[in-house]
Amino acid sequence: MLTFMELAGPTEGDGGGSVDSQLWAACAGSMSSVPPVGAAVYYFPQGHAEQASAAVDLSSARVPPLVPCRVVAVRFMADAESDEVFAKIRLVPLRPGDAVVDVGEAAAAEARREEENSRPRPTSFAKTLTQSDANNGGGFSVPRFCAETIFPELDYSSEPPVQSVCAKDVHGVEWTFRHIYRGTPRRHLLTTGWSPFVNKKQLTAGDSIVFMRDEGGNIHVGLRRAKRGFCSIGGDDESLSSIPGWDQYRGLMRRNATATATGGRTPPKGKVPPENVLTAATRATTGQPFEVLYYPRASTPEFCVRAAAVRTAMAVQWCPGMRFKMAFETEDSSRISWFMGTVAGVQASDPVRWPQSPWRLLQVHLHGTNMRQPQLDHDRVVEFLINWPPRR
């Protein structure tokens, strides 16, 4: 389990308490990860800037394309208004000559990974809200899997079977819902208590709700906000729309198409204040400890990447025509699909300001989910390398 190591002084800008790491992971999605304390990572200022809420000019700071760092603190948090989860990560740049390897907890975690994987994990379930679910005054239609594996067992001898379900949100606030099994055909519903939850959280159709049952049997509830604007793009192959993960891929195409129109720089749509990015990049450049905020649902690659993954990716002699595979997650994180791809070009995404940067180095084409293709040249590509092609 990831931990937060208290430093000598308080972290800047703390706006709330920490979130249970398991609930945080359930809300972030199965493909999101945060490097643990002691991990060696490479910090990519370009990637950090992509999570900013406004354009960030890093030219005056002479910021290098990547900075080797050590993770010294991790805190899992959630936005006080939207419940969107994010992580506050404190990093210390490594000095020239320092080994860029994991130490402490991170190194030990690698050694006992097999043991950790064998332990039972909390059960979680996510559902994308329908218009009916999100209607004020309505109820929530509970999928059978969620009702039977996460909620307490109903007494089906009662007529109708009904119970109260208590769940704590990411801020520790407890919500009580009336869980009933009724209708023709019968189905599980949350009724009383659901409307106040919808109103307080300002839920709309397309948002996702996450229920998790921890090892002690306690139930938690979290949210994933819909990624607005991930609608159809002219020229998309409609035959691919049913593929799990295609909406995620299509959204990346839309984002990068706009980036192409703005000179290769992705327009800021994130939540991180631009001054935070500039401060972090400047301090990283001068070898001073710094903090970053990472939003796992921001549709941008992780910008603090494990050093081993970067070394592996950069050891490959990338060239046009190479084949690879890449995973995409459905919007509700219920499934992961692997897409086949081919490298179309290898060049810096911003050759003027970042000519030596590996960030979004590869231009690629994806070909769908057919795994019966010739042998891959590279088993899996790291996302920070990908410069998604615009869709026309």
Express each pLDDT in 122-144 by its tens digit: 899 999 999 999 987 789 999 99
Predicted confidence at residue 359, as pLDDT, reads: 93
Residue-level pLDDT at 143: 95
Closest by alpha carbon to 389, among 258, 287, 285?
258
Identify whether residues 194 and 296 lie together within a single domain.
no
Per-residue confidence (pLDDT) for residue 373, from 0 to 100 = 46
**Higher-confidence position of 338 and 51:** 51
The pLDDT, as a whole number, for residue 203 is 96
Cβ atoms 302, 359 nearer than 8 A:
no
In this structure, is residue 13 part of a structural domain? no
pLDDT band at 234, cuts 50/70/90?
very low
Tell me, what's the pLDDT at 71?
Answer: 97
Count of positions (residues) in the chain: 392
Q: Of 189, 205, 221, which residue sits at a domain end?
A: 205
- Residue 364 sits in the same domain as residue 282: yes
Question: Domain range holding 352?
Answer: 21-116+230-387
Are residues 335 and 360 both part of a single domain? Answer: yes
**Cα–Cα distance for residue pair 19/87, rounded to 1 Å:** 10
pLDDT at position 298: 82
Share of residues in the chain with pLDDT > 90 (%):
54
If 0-12 CB within 10 Å is exposed, 13-18 middle and 19+ buried, where does residue 289 land?
A: middle
Contact 181, 161 (CB under 8 A): yes
Query: Is residue 225 domain-resident?
Result: no
pLDDT above 60 (res 43): yes
Write down the H helix ranges in the chain: 21-28, 45-50, 104-111, 113-118, 131-134, 144-149, 194-201, 246-261, 274-285, 307-314
Higher pLDDT, 13 or 29: 29
| pLDDT, tens only, 53-102 | 999 988 877 899 999 999 999 999 999 999 999 999 999 999 999 999 98
pLDDT reported for residue 263: 43
Burial 258-284 (b: 16+ CB within 10 A, else e): ebeeeebbbebbbebebebbbbbbbbb
- pLDDT value of position 237: 41
361 domain residue, yes or no: yes
Ramachandran quadrant class, 235 (left: phi over 0; alpha: psi -120 to 50; beta: rest): left
The HSE-up count of residue 91 (CA atoms within 13 Å, CB side) is 37
What's the confidence (pLDDT) of residue 278?
Answer: 95
Among the three residues 143, 170, 205, which one is the final residue of a domain in this structure? 205
Query: Is the distance from CB of 132 to CB of 138 less than 8 angstroms?
Result: yes
Residues 147, 270 share a domain:
no
241 and 309 in one domain? Answer: yes
Residue 15 falls inside a structural domain: no
Q: So what's the pLDDT on residue 380? A: 55
| Percentage of the chain lying above the pLDDT 70 cut | 76
344 and 373 co-located in one domain: yes
Report, as an integer, the average pLDDT of 8-25: 67
Shared domain for 80 and 189, answered yes or no, is no
For residue 392, pLDDT over 70 is answered with no
Q: Is the pLDDT of residue 252 over 50?
A: no
pLDDT digits (tens, 9 = 90+) for 321-344: 988 887 777 665 667 777 788 899
Q: Which residues of 124-159 are buried (b: 16+ CB within 10 A; e: fewer)?
A: bbbbbbeeebbeeebbbebbeebbeebbeebeeeee
Do residues 306 and 361 share a domain? yes
Number of structural domains (the chain) is 2
**Highest mean pLDDT: which of 102-116, 168-182, 245-259?**
168-182
| One domain for residues 167 and 48 | no
Q: Does some domain include residue 16?
A: no
Do 367 and 311 sit in the same domain of this protein? Answer: yes
Are 162 and 262 contained in the same domain?
no
Q: What is the mean pLDDT of the chain?
A: 81
Please check whether residue 12 lies inside any domain of the structure.
no
pLDDT of residue 333: 60
- Given this model, what pLDDT does residue 385 score? 84
With respect to residue 91, please indicate whether it lies within any of the assigned structural domains. Answer: yes
The CATH number assigned to the domain holding 136 equals: 2.40.330.10
Contact 180, 127 (CB under 8 A): no
pLDDT (tens digit, 9 = 90+) per residue, 195-205? 999 999 999 99
> What pLDDT score was predicted for residue 121?
74
Q: Could you please report the per-residue DSSP string of 216-236?
A: TS-EEEEEE---TT----TT-
C-alpha closest to that of 126 among 58, 26, 234, 41: 26
Q: Is 50 exceeded by the pLDDT of residue 9?
A: no
Q: How many helices (H) and strands (E) does the chain have?
A: 10, 16
Asked if residue 214 is part of any domain, the answer here is no
Report which DSSP code applies to 323.
E
Query: Is there a single domain that holds both residue 97 and residue 174?
Result: no
